[in-house]
Amino acid sequence: MRINIDECLFCLVDVQERLFPLVSNHEAVENNLLILIKGLQALKVPFIINEQYKKGLGDTIASIKELVKDEPHFEKLSFSICKNEATLDALKKSNKKVVIVAGIETHVCILQTCLDLIEEGFQPVLVTDCISSRSDFNNIMAVERMVQAGVIPTSYESILFELTVHSKHEAFKTISSLVK
């Protein structure tokens, strides 16, 4: 399935101050997320930012918080974003079919979100170099389960260029400079 920019929405899940430093390879994941977010913004893909129990886990990490401060934010207590009524309503009202997903932790909130997105009629696209868990094994197993369930795996560079389509796109130079 080709991913069409007009059908996409980006969902960032739980990249928060108190949990993010504990996940595997968090420095690389943070760098990848920054590139993905800047690229999707250049492509004008709409965003939904989700935060799990902010009182306990804190805000979105500072480097990303500044970039997404004007995007819609939703706080949740459930692991899946789809179990939050306001978030699910925003997803449905977006009229987008494809939800690009990134964040943490892969084996909990990302897994449950992607499985529920499928149940709700969306096609999740998982940016696999923009996710992580505290355990690499949990990350690997969750990705395997999601792919078997119908989630489309990709990388940040692949999704950015797929959405750009060709070098004549107005965001091509921005995307190219981000991924170098």
- CATH no. for residue 24? 3.40.50.850
Residue 109 annotated among the catalytic residues of the structure = yes
Question: Which DSSP helix (H) or strand (E) runs through 135?
Answer: none
pTM, full prediction:
0.97
**Contacts of residue 166, Cβ cutoff 8 Å, sequence gap at least 6:** 172
The residues pairing with 74 across neighbouring beta strands, listed in sequence order, are 50
* Count of domains forming the chain: 1
Judge contact between 24 and 106, C-beta under 8 A: no
**Active-site residue, selected from the candidate residues 8, 11, 82, 109:** 109
46-86 residue pLDDT tens: 999 999 999 999 999 999 999 999 999 999 999 999 999 99
| pLDDT computed for residue 177 by the predictor | 97
Structure tokens, 1: 């399935």
Owning domain of residue 72: 5-179
Q: Which residues pair with 102 in a beta bridge?
A: 12
Active-site residue, 14 included: yes
